[in-house]
């Protein structure tokens, strides 16, 4: 036994380093063949199994070589501890796993890879190691079962890669355990292994992913559909062991997500990849089960990923293939899912969602005696449910031609959503602006917030085109504006609240434009195109924002730190710009009563002796940027070239953001304390008093009339200048010409607007 363990240990070290093995391949089979009987699956070493059952057609090797290896980064137990059969078998599985990984790696030396390949083929053909690994699923040792599943997944993928006939014992095992719902652990390990194989297919860099997956799914296409129907037909309350069905459901959700991802990315069309879209009501019914809240959260997030075409991003360890444009069949399936979601919401789905979450701690979610329990909603469910409804509406409207039907659906579902959200928003939504709900719900998750804003913008544009085709918007413009505000989807309000959340900081907008982690570029371009056509409405809403803040005696100098925090202000802002059809008058009819004070972000309005904020809202001091920069905004000595010279080792994104930060720091020190930007008309020419970063008190005889409109215009100008500087230095990650044209046009029409004031 001691010699056996020493040889196995040395073999592990050699394979770990990718060393070429000198002995005959059959010599290593003796040490790698797990000691498992097909009949009773005992836990025994290869030596014990050899003595009991015999090793047909093989001989014990004379010597495999146990000379020590100089470099061997391994953490193995001593020989005395390895004497147990369990430890030996775990090491055997580890060696098989590492050897298979070495075969699949492009970094392994050719001769070493050929030797490893020959050993694994013998294990599969002569030793029937796949059948023995399946037998291990019956073992009560969880670690042994998990290692067996990992090894089996890699061996099955090896068979697919090498175009070897897939293991018949494995196919039979899956068909037996997935033909109907069972609470046995075999079904769980079966699902886990299938999921691991698809992950390996995604992770592999070979060009034959589609062919490999097609070969794999051919064996399981029918059985997946059978299991789907069987699993979701269960009555949860009648299950004897609810933990088993929860584990199976979580495993199957991961597998289903990868199947859908493979359809989108690899363009395959198997029934098992479409089963969710063919029978979406089965999945939606899980939300109504009396099941744990985290399972409902998993289902909601899964649906959100499907509707956003983001399935598989978190499950694939390797790089996800580039997303191809959805074909007609995928679009129709997404429409079926969207319709099913809306039908479920109309039937009261949101009422079954439990969003009263618990705060999570390192030791769990239970509050220790003597500690205060802070109740708060589950923000993840709030965001996911909101986004699922909005994307479903957007998809449905893209396939709807009736403007009146879209209006009715939008009003019904947005009313349902806002009613669902209202009790969980602290402080509550204000009387005068239901459009604030989006920035409040998504303030802690910028990628979801931008997806939601883009979805609502798409809904607005689709509905606008439909109304323009059937009726004149100019005749009922006031009613149209009322409808957009009432249902919380006015695109200008949503964009203004978004800018407030980031403190009107142009460097944050630049972060979003450079980053590929959000859809901000697509959203921003679509909004700028709308802004060109709807400039007058945008300007009116800006004025109404200022008038609202003045009327309700509030300031926008304070930030909203989180979704549930309540931050009030004592600053008094007098009446500012007013409009004939105020945003207040449009929305005050709605029952959004709240006793909590309004918690706006930043202000640029003051009058008389009132507190005054500056146009420095765009500085990183006023709002923390999304990236921590090494340079300081206050530095006037260090030049841009020096900054770039010191950051040669940084990424393109870091170089770009450091460049704009330094540029912003040197330019703002000169311009920040004046209302007059270079080459621009004054917004209010009679005001020439300097602003202060610290919101100092202005003299009594000075009247400040600078509002949110000027702040946004200045933010756009800073963003445009920053993009131009980065483009000249070839630091921008893509061609921004089209974006700059849009920003330039906005600058032209904003100058015309300010010249008329």
pLDDT at position 552, please? 56
Is 80 exceeded by the pLDDT of residue 32?
yes
- Residue 355: which pLDDT band, with cuts at 50, 70 and 90? confident
How many angstroms separate the CA atoms of 300 and 727, rounded?
41
How many angstroms separate the CA atoms of 277 and 284, rounded?
11
Quote the radius of gyration of the chain (alpha carbons, Å): 32
Is 80 exceeded by the pLDDT of residue 474?
no
How many angstroms separate the CA atoms of 38 and 130, rounded?
11
Is 80 exceeded by the pLDDT of residue 317?
no
On whether the CB atoms of residues 576 and 613 are closer than 8 A, the answer is no
Average pLDDT, the chain: 74
Q: Which two tokens stand for residue 632?
A: 């300081």
CB contact set of 717 (below 8 Å; sequence gap of 6+): 677, 680, 747
List, for residues 727-750, the tens digit of each pLDDT value: 999 999 999 999 999 999 999 999
Q: Which of 20-34, 146-160, 363-377, 601-615 is least confident?
A: 601-615
Q: Which of 336-350, 524-538, 672-686 is least confident?
A: 672-686
- Residue 44: which pLDDT band, with cuts at 50, 70 and 90? very low
Furthest-apart CA atoms within the chain: distance in Å = 104
| Entry pTM | 0.75
Share of the chain above pLDDT 90, in %: 42
Taking CA atoms, 751 is separated from 533, 674, 738, in Å, by 16, 17, 20
On whether the CB atoms of residues 509 and 715 are closer than 8 A, the answer is yes
- Residue 524: which pLDDT band, with cuts at 50, 70 and 90? very high
pLDDT at position 360, please? 52
Mean pLDDT for the stretch of residues 405-417:
92
Is 80 exceeded by the pLDDT of residue 704?
no
Could you please report the per-residue DSSP string of 44-111? Answer: B-HHHHHHHH--TT----S-------S--------TTGGGSHHHHHHHHHHHHHHHHHHHH-TTS-HH
- Residue 156: which pLDDT band, with cuts at 50, 70 and 90? very high
Share of the chain above pLDDT 70, in %: 66
Mean pLDDT for the stretch of residues 542-562:
61
More confident residue, 516 or 722: 722
Taking CA atoms, 515 is separated from 38, 493, 508, 644, 742, in Å, by 54, 24, 10, 19, 20
H/E element, 357 = strand 356-357
List, for residues 95-117, the tens digit of each pLDDT value: 999 999 999 998 999 999 999 99
Q: Which of helix, strand or coil describes residue 436? A: helix
- Residue 235: which pLDDT band, with cuts at 50, 70 and 90? confident
Mean pLDDT for the stretch of residues 672-699:
33
pLDDT at position 133, please? 93
Mean pLDDT for the stretch of residues 466-494:
77
Q: Which of 81-85, 119-123, 387-391, 675-679 is least confident?
A: 675-679
Q: Which of 13-27, 391-405, 458-472 is least confident?
A: 458-472
On whether the CB atoms of residues 62 and 71 are closer than 8 A, the answer is no
Mean pLDDT for the stretch of residues 613-622:
34
H/E element, 377 = strand 376-377
Is 80 exceeded by the pLDDT of residue 557?
no
In the DSSP assignment, the letter for residue 308 is T
How many angstroms separate the CA atoms of 27 and 7, rounded?
11
pLDDT at position 2, please? 74
Is 70 exceeded by the pLDDT of residue 439?
yes
CB contact set of 119 (below 8 Å; sequence gap of 6+): 21, 25, 28, 29, 32, 99
pLDDT at position 353, please? 85
How many angstroms separate the CA atoms of 377 and 420, rounded?
12
pLDDT at position 569, please? 35
List, for residues 241-274, the tens digit of each pLDDT value: 788 889 999 999 999 999 999 998 888 889 999 9
Burial 39-70 (b: 16+ CB within 10 A, else e): eeeebbbbbebbeeeebeebeebeebeeeeee
List, for residues 363-394, the tens digit of each pLDDT value: 455 656 666 556 678 889 999 999 999 999 99
pLDDT at position 329, please? 87
* Dihedral over Cα of 741, 743, 748, 749: its sign: positive
pLDDT at position 544, please? 86
Q: Which of 52-61, 302-311, 688-697 is least confident?
A: 688-697
- Identify which of 620, 608, 599 has the alpha carbon closest to the alpha carbon of residue 557: 599
H/E element, 587 = helix 583-587
pLDDT at position 677, please? 36
Taking CA atoms, 160 is separated from 100, 130, 166, 253, in Å, by 13, 14, 7, 24
Q: How far apart are the first and last CA of the chain?
A: 93
pLDDT at position 685, please? 34
Is 60 exceeded by the pLDDT of residue 671?
no
């Amino acid at each position: 036994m001691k010699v056996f363990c020493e040889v196995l240990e040395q073999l592990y070290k050699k394979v770990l380093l990718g060393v070429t093995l000198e002995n005959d391949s059959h010599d290593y089979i003796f040490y790698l063949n797990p000691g498992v009987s097909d009949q009773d699956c005992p836990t025994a070493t290869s030596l014990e199994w050899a003595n009991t059952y015999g090793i047909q057609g093989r001989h014990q090797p004379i010597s495999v070589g146990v000379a020590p290896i100089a470099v061997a980064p391994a953490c193995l137990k001593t020989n005395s501890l390895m004497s147990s059969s369990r430890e030996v078998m775990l090491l055997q599985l580890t060696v098989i796993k590492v050897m298979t990984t070495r075969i699949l790696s492009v970094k392994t030396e050719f001769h070493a890879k050929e030797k490893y390949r020959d050993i694994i083929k013998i294990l599969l053909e002569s030793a029937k190691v796949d059948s023995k690994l399946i037998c291990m699923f019956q073992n009560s040792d969880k670690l042994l079962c998990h290692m067996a599943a990992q090894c089996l997944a890699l061996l099955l993928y090896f068979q697919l890669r090498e175009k070897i006939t897939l293991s018949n014992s494995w196919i039979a095992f899956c068909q037996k355990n997935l033909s109907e719902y069972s609470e046995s652990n075999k079904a769980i390990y079966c699902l886990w292994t299938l999921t691991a194989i698809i992950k390996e297919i995604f992770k592999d860099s070979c060009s034959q992913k589609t062919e490999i997956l097609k070969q794999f799914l051919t064996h399981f296409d029918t059985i997946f559909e059978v299991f789907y129907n069987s699993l979701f037909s269960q009555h949860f309350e009648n299950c004897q062991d609810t933990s088993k069905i929860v584990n199976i459901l979580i495993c199957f959700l991961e597998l289903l997500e990868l199947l859908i991802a493979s359809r989108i990315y690899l363009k395959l069309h198997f029934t098992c990849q479409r089963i969710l879209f063919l029978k979406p009501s089965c999945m939606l019914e899980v939300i109504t089960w009396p099941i744990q809240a985290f399972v409902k959260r998993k289902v909601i997030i899964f649906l959100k990923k499907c509707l956003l075409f983001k399935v598989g991003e978190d499950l694939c360890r390797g790089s996800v293939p580039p997303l191809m444009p959805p074909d007609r069949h995928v679009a129709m399936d997404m429409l079926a899912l969207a319709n099913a979601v809306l039908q479920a919401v109309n039937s009261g789905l949101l009422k079954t969602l439990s969003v009263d979450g618990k705060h999570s701690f390192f030791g769990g979610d239970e509050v220790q005696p003597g500690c205060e329990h802070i109740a708060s909603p589950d923000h993840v469910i709030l965001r996911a449910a909101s986004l699922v409804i909005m994307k479903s509406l957007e998809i449905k409207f893209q396939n709807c031609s009736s403007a009146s039907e879209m209006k009715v659906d939008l009003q019904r579902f947005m009313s349902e959503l806002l009613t669902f959200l209202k009790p969980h928003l602290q402080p509550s939504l204000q009387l005068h602006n239901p459009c604030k709900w989006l920035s409040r719900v998504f303030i802690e998750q910028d990628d979801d917030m931008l997806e939601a804003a883009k979805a609502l913008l798409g809904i607005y544009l689709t509905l606008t085109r439909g109304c323009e085709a059937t009726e004149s918007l100019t005749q009922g413009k006031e009613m149209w504006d009322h409808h957009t505000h009432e249902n919380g989807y006015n695109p200008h309000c949503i964009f203004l609240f978004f800018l407030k959340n980031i403190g009107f900081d142009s460097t944050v907008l630049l972060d979003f434009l450079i980053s590929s982690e959000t859809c901000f570029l697509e959203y921003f371009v679509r909004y700028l195109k709308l802004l060109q056509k709807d400039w007058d409405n945008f300007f009116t809403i800006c004025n109404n924002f200022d008038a609202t803040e003045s009327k309700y005696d509030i300031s926008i100098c304070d930030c909203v730190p989180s979704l549930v925090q309540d931050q009030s202000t004592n600053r008094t802002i007098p009446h500012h710009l007013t409009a004939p059809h105020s945003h207040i008058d449009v929305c005050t009819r709605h029952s959004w009563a709240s006793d909590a004070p309004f918690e706006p972000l930043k202000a640029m309005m003051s009058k008389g002796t009132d507190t005054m904020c500056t146009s420095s809202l765009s500085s990183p001091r006023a709002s923390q940027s999304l990236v921590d920069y090494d340079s300081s905004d206050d530095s006037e000595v260090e030049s841009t070239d020096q900054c770039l010279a010191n950051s040669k080792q940084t990424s393109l994104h870091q170089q770009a953001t450091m460049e704009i930060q330094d540029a912003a720091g040197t330019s703002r020190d000169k311009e920040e304390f004046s209302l007059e930007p270079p080459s621009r008309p004054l917004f209010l020419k009679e005001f020439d008093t300097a602003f202060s970063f610290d919101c100092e008190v202005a003299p009594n005889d000075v009247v400040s009339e600078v509002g949110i409109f000027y702040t946004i215009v200045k933010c756009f100008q800073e963003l445009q200048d920053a993009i131009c500087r980065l483009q000249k230095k070839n630091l921008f990650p893509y061609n921004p010409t089209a974006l700059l044209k849009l920003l330039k046009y906005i600058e032209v029409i904003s100058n015309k607007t300010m010249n008329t004031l």
